[in-house]
Amino acid sequence: MTSVYIVAHHQRSEAAALVLATVSWLRAHGHDAWMSPDDATAIGLDDLASDRNPGEAALAISLGGDGTMLRTVKMLDGAAVPIIGVNVGLLGYLTEVEPPGLLPALERWFATDGAAVSWRIEERMMLQIAVHRVGDRALAERWRALNEVVLEKGEAGHTVRLNVSIDGSPFTSYAADGLIVATPTGSTAYSLSVRGPVVSPQHRAMLLTPVSPHMLFDRTLVLDPDEPISIEVSGYRSVEVSVDGQRVARLQEGDTLVCTPAAETARFVRFGPRRFHQILKAKFGLSDR
């Protein structure tokens, strides 16, 4: 028996039907499935609710869009659990199959007929984020991000000043609406919307992109993973911190945020050749010529 953890989009009506079909298939084949109490209640399937640790699962299934994939990665909390992403959303950069392909995908994942493995695991770099509060540098608040961490102004109409050091050496002070530190996976998220570069998710790098900078230097830096990024809040205006779209902290003058690659990776199940540039082409409707 294999234990399967299911995460579903709360506002997509088709997600609940997919959960039922998935659970029915899994149980018919001798497997176990559960959801978090919040997810199960939100879609009206309380009988699937469990407080079990998602990291105990052998497989996770994400039913939603890229936001649900991000939430699944967060809930696994670094556990090396592979994720099958089903696109019940809009963009679906991270997901692997469309709803009609879910049960065939499960058949391929659980195949035991001795045939050659028809899937692979794609690992994606994540960020380790640590916040050190002024006056209490020994303690740190920590998070992981698959897409990005964003430091941005908390008040409309004002910029914030952020002092950046790279690999232990001062780089410059940014006067801007904010700064984004993104992974290659996150290069097609918020960073892209502020004209950051598109980077293949197979690459390992950290992208430092300013948001509406009030200075001549407005380019993204693409840094090696071995070059830690340290960002200190300068000035009296507070800074809001968001990790993968979720607000997690407010920083004051002297507080510092440090980004390094996480030891853990996100693990996505892939069932065929996945050419990132072709996915990008399809999502943006690009022509061959």
In this prediction, residue 279 carries a pLDDT of 77
Judge if 62 and 136 occupy the same domain: no
Confirm if 274 and 122 have CB atoms less than 8 A apart. yes
What is the C-alpha separation between 112 and 230, in angstroms, rounded?
Answer: 48
Judge if 208 and 223 occupy the same domain: yes
Q: In this structure, is residue 13 part of a structural domain?
A: yes
Judge if 130 and 113 occupy the same domain: no
Q: Dump pLDDT digits (tens) for 192-214.
A: 999 999 999 999 999 999 999 99
Any idea what DSSP says for residue 117?
A: P
Judge if 161 and 245 occupy the same domain: yes
Q: In this structure, is residue 280 part of a structural domain?
A: yes
Rounded to two decimals, what is the model's pTM?
Answer: 0.92
Please give the tally of structural domains in the chain. Answer: 2
- Around Cβ 107, how many Cβ atoms within 10 Å? 12
Give the pair of three-digit tokens for residue 148.
């990005």
Q: List residues bridging with 242 in a β-sheet.
A: 150, 247
Does residue 201 or residue 287 have the better pLDDT? Answer: 201
Give the pair of three-digit tokens for residue 125.
């770099």
Active site residue 288: no
Q: With bands split at pLDDT 50, 70 and 90, how would you rate the model's confidence at 113?
A: low
Phi, psi of 226 (to 5 degrees): -85, 15
Mean local confidence (pLDDT), 243-261? 96
In this prediction, residue 12 carries a pLDDT of 82
Q: In this structure, is residue 55 part of a structural domain?
A: yes
What is the C-alpha separation between 128 and 117, in angstroms, rounded?
Answer: 32
Instruction: Check whether 114 has a pLDDT greater than 70.
Output: no
Judge if 134 and 173 occupy the same domain: yes
In this prediction, residue 13 carries a pLDDT of 81
Give the pair of three-digit tokens for residue 285.
């409707």
Mean residue pLDDT across the chain: 92
In this prediction, residue 115 carries a pLDDT of 55
Q: In this structure, is residue 131 part of a structural domain?
A: yes
Instruction: Check whether 139 has a pLDDT greater than 90.
Output: no
N-terminal to C-terminal alpha carbon distance within the chain? 50
Judge if 111 and 232 occupy the same domain: no
Q: In this structure, is residue 278 part of a structural domain?
A: yes
Judge if 133 and 245 occupy the same domain: yes
Judge if 107 and 136 occupy the same domain: no
Which residue carries 């979720």 as its tokens? 246
- Around Cβ 2, how many Cβ atoms within 10 Å? 14
CATH classification of the domain holding 27: 3.40.50.10330
Query: DSSP E strands: which ranges in the chain?
Result: 3-8, 32-34, 59-64, 83-87, 120-133, 136-145, 148-153, 160-166, 169-176, 178-182, 206-211, 221-223, 229-234, 239-243, 246-251, 256-270
Q: In this structure, is residue 289 part of a structural domain?
A: no
In this prediction, residue 117 carries a pLDDT of 66
Judge if 99 and 156 occupy the same domain: no
CA count, 13 A, side-chain hemisphere, 197: 16
Judge if 136 and 188 occupy the same domain: yes
Q: In this structure, is residue 192 part of a structural domain?
A: yes
Question: Which structural domain, as residue segments, surrounds residue 132?
Answer: 126-263
Q: Dump pLDDT digits (tens) for 36-85.
A: 999 999 999 999 999 999 999 999 999 999 999 999 999 999 999 999 99
Judge if 172 and 254 occupy the same domain: yes
Q: Which of 4, 22, 19, 24 is nearest to 81 (CA)?
A: 4
Q: Residues 39, 66, 177, 255: which is the catalytic one?
A: 66
Confirm if 19 and 6 have CB atoms less than 8 A apart. yes
Give CA angle at 104 (100, 109), nearest 5°: 135
Instruction: Check whether 242 has a pLDDT greater than 60.
Output: yes
CATH classification of the domain holding 130: 2.60.200.30
Phi, psi of 55 (to 5 degrees): -65, -10
Judge if 44 and 99 occupy the same domain: yes
Instruction: Check whether 22 has a pLDDT greater than 70.
Output: yes
Q: Dump pLDDT digits (tens) for 151-163.
A: 999 888 889 999 9
